């Protein structure tokens, strides 16, 4: 797919939209409930990033699926962050043009405070493992050695910690 996109082959873009639109909608459903209408914005932003960086993809370093997912994740996060800074409070008098997609007070945005709060609700084991793996970028081997646990346990904690994190975030957003 990336080869075709890089060559300007329209079928590559068709595959991109067909394969990843569902993931974009899923991310928005979780990170910005009520903002599902922004899925086209996320896909468009990701397409631009993809077009600019497709030549950087090195198959020996990772699959194109992961390459695209990483860009899409970043597009969704950046859009949620930028739009959440411009939410119009209910009852506020709009200033100027309010047609821009995203200025929707019914959308609940997941910001860093929500993530912090969600992390606080994880078990100590899950929180520490996720922090080490994704904030300190420690390898599973390093985490296992420092926590004196099997690497398989690290793998299990990361997997279930991420799933639990998602559940807590979605529950907290729904409760707002």
Partner 1 sequence: MSLLCPEGERLPEYLTERLSPADAARVHAHLAGCGVCRRLADEVEVGLAAMVIARDEAVEQERVTSAAAARAEVRLAPQRPRGRRTVALAAAACGVLITGAALGVVLERQTSGPETLAEFTLSNESVFDPAAGTAALALVDGGLQIGLELDGLPRDAEFFECLWHVDGETRSAGTFAAVDGAVEVDLVVAPFEGVPSWTLDIVSHSSEDPRVVLTAER
Task: Tell me whether residue 74 or residue 91 sits nearer to partner 1 (CB atom).
Answer: 74
Q: Coil, strand or helix: which one is 176?
A: coil
Q: Coil, strand or helix: which one is 32?
A: coil
CA distances from 83 to 88, 108, 123, 141 (A): 10, 10, 31, 38
> Angle 88-89-93 (CA atoms, 0-180°, nearest 5)?
70
Task: Tell me whether residue 95 or residue 136 sits nearer to partner 1 (CB atom).
Answer: 136
C-alpha dihedral (89, 168, 46, 137), degrees to nearest 10: 120
Q: Residue 29's closest CA among 108, 130, 88, 86?
A: 108
Q: Which positions lie near partner 1, rule CB under 8 A?
A: 22-23, 26-27, 30-31, 52, 55-56, 58, 60-63, 65-66, 69, 73-74, 76-77, 81, 110-112, 115-116, 118-120, 127-128, 130-142, 145-146, 155-156, 158-159, 161-166, 169-170
CB of 99 to partner 1, least distance (A): 27
CB of 73 to partner 1, least distance (A): 5
Task: Tell me whether residue 104 or residue 129 sits nearer to partner 1 (CB atom).
Answer: 129
CB of 91 to partner 1, least distance (A): 28
CB of 115 to partner 1, least distance (A): 5
Task: Tell me whether residue 39 or residue 133 sits nearer to partner 1 (CB atom).
Answer: 133
The tokens describing 102, both together, are 């995203």
Task: Tell me whether residue 93 or residue 135 sits nearer to partner 1 (CB atom).
Answer: 135
CB of 129 to partner 1, least distance (A): 10
Q: Residue 158's closest CA among 131, 118, 119?
A: 131
């Amino acid at each position: 797919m990336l080869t075709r996109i890089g060559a300007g082959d329209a079928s590559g873009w068709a595959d991109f939209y067909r394969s990843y639109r569902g993931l974009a909608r899923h991310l928005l459903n979780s990170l910005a409930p009520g903002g599902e209408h922004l899925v086209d914005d996320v896909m468009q932003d990701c397409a631009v990033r993809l077009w600019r960086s497709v030549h950087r993809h090195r198959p020996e370093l990772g699959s194109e699926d992961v390459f695209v997912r990483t860009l899409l994740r970043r597009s969704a996060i950046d859009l949620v962050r930028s739009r959440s800074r411009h939410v119009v409070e209910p009852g506020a008098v709009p200033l100027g043009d309010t047609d821009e997609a995203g200025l929707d007070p019914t959308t609940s945005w997941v910001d860093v405070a929500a993530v912090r709060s969600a992390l606080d609700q994880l078990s100590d084991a899950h929180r520490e493992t996720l922090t080490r793996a994704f904030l300190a970028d420690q390898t599973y081997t390093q985490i296992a050695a420092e926590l004196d646990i099997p690497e398989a346990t690290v793998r299990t904690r990361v997997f279930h910690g991420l799933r639990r994190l998602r559940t807590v975030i979605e529950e907290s957003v729904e409760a707002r």
